[in-house]
Amino acid sequence: MKHVSQPFTDPEFVQNPYGFYDAARAHGPVVFWTEYGLPALMGYAEVTAALRDRRMGRVPPDGLPGFSPDMSDFARAEAFSLLNLEGDRHARLRSHVLRAFTSRRVAALAPEIKALCESLIDAFPKETSFDLVAAYAARVPVIVIARLLGVPETACAQLLSWSHAMVAMYRPNVSAEDARAANDASREFSDWLGHVMDTKRNNGKDDLLTALLDAETHGALTRDECLATVILLLNAGHEATVHSLGNAVVRLLSEGHADSLTAPKQIAATVEECLRIDPPLHVFARYVLEPLEIGGHAFEPGDEVLCMLGAANRDPSAFDAPDRFRPGRTGPTLTSFGAGVHFCLGAPLARLELQIALQVLFERCPDLNLSMPAELADIYHFHGHARLMVTCGS
């Protein structure tokens, strides 16, 4: 296994990691990334195989790593999160969430999402530069998930604050200050959610939180499982969709014909290609649970392996001319939503949000332009823009 070196804090790498992916993949589909101290899967076939193989999981064979006592609130949310469960526990909880997260409930949100996008665009500043992330990309998904869950929209700003604090724990080299903030956010989020759930019980509403509460009432889910599930749906769904929407806007502006790319008959293909070429998450770690071989390399139980989603989506053995933007291209399923038993629950909602948000934005703002060069946030793993300064004409 070839050892390759690339500091993941290098600003140039963060802005464009694809050259490194190509160089690493040239040594084979599996390399050892020195700065992580871990093997990394760079090929599409190897990444998808790892994501789908039941002999690999999200946590080590002996369970989640322990947290210090002062991280007990964050640890509890992690311990009951779908993301960190395997086997029967994962299947049981996921089945209840899927019943609440039905395609009917998601599809029914389309008119609301369109109206929301229209109202946010109505409030855009005229003839002056503004931050599209703050005014649009960050607001659409958090308001939509609040409505789907059935929690007050007035809490959206606080939900964003808690979400940002908690997802910071998934970055490498987390500081003690960030860890304390994540634990405080976990405690406050759980306390607030518990209060909301108690006030919603038996209210007859058709929302996801009420459906989860019904499962709790009948003994199918515990309170900790309900809390962890709602936290995961907000954190994972919101963060990824914000980055996906911002990345897509930058991509479409660079292509120069956003109007045709977001036309009704084209928008679904455009969104898929945006998600492939600029995914919001580039690394997804998996642990080996049973001996297996990937890409000609043997792995043992307990080994941690990096699945490089951003590299897999641009693997030339899977996608023709992978660095070119080609909506409607033929090829395999992108890896941006994962695969296997941990395939993203929110993928249908994310796709719907992106399709509507992009279509409405470029319909209403045909003169949308960047007023400052777009730079990705200086954080590897989460591939997105902290802000996008734009103008949209009069």
How confident is the model over 143-171, as a mean pLDDT? 86
The predicted pLDDT at position 380 comes to 79
81 contact partners, CB below 8 Å, separation of at least 6:
228, 229, 231, 232
Cα R_g (the chain), whole angstroms: 21
**120, pLDDT greater than 60:** yes
The predicted pLDDT at position 163 comes to 87
244 contact partners, CB below 8 Å, separation of at least 6:
274, 275, 278, 279, 280, 336, 350, 354, 384
Confidence (pTM): 0.91
Residue extents of the structural domains in the chain: 2-391
Q: How far apart are CA 54 and CA 35, in angstroms?
A: 28
Span 2-391 CATH architecture: Orthogonal Bundle (1.10)
- When mean pLDDT is compared across 170-174, 279-283, 293-297, 344-348, the lowest value belongs to 170-174
Going from the C-alpha of 244 to that of each of 93, 115, 280, 302, 339, the distances in angstroms are 27, 20, 5, 32, 18
**237, pLDDT greater than 70:** no
How confident is the model over 346-357, as a mean pLDDT? 93
**223, pLDDT greater than 80:** yes
How confident is the model over 367-394, as a mean pLDDT? 88
Instruction: Quick: pLDDT tens for 162-184.
Output: 988 998 887 777 888 999 999 99
CB atoms within 10 A of CB 12: 9
- With contact defined as beta carbons under 8 Å apart, do 295 and 29 qualify? yes
**292, pLDDT greater than 70:** yes
192 contact partners, CB below 8 Å, separation of at least 6:
155, 158
**65, pLDDT greater than 80:** no
Q: Residue for token digits 């049981």?
A: 92
Instruction: Quick: pLDDT tens for 84-115.
Output: 888 888 888 888 888 767 778 788 889 999 99
The predicted pLDDT at position 202 comes to 63
How confident is the model over 323-334, as a mean pLDDT? 93
How confident is the model over 348-359, as a mean pLDDT? 95
The predicted pLDDT at position 377 comes to 86
**41, pLDDT greater than 80:** yes
The predicted pLDDT at position 217 comes to 84
The predicted pLDDT at position 90 comes to 86
The predicted pLDDT at position 96 comes to 80
How confident is the model over 180-207, as a mean pLDDT? 85
The predicted pLDDT at position 168 comes to 82
How confident is the model over 15-43, as a mean pLDDT? 96
Q: How does strand 292-294 pair with strand 304-308?
A: unpaired
The predicted pLDDT at position 203 comes to 67
How confident is the model over 339-366, as a mean pLDDT? 92
Mean pLDDT of the chain: 90
**241, pLDDT greater than 80:** yes
53 contact partners, CB below 8 Å, separation of at least 6:
292, 340
How confident is the model over 239-259, as a mean pLDDT? 93
**394, pLDDT greater than 70:** no
How confident is the model over 373-379, as a mean pLDDT? 87
Q: How far apart are CA 157 and CA 385, in angstroms?
A: 18
Name the residue with higher pLDDT: 233 or 308.
308
- With contact defined as beta carbons under 8 Å apart, do 136 and 116 qualify? no
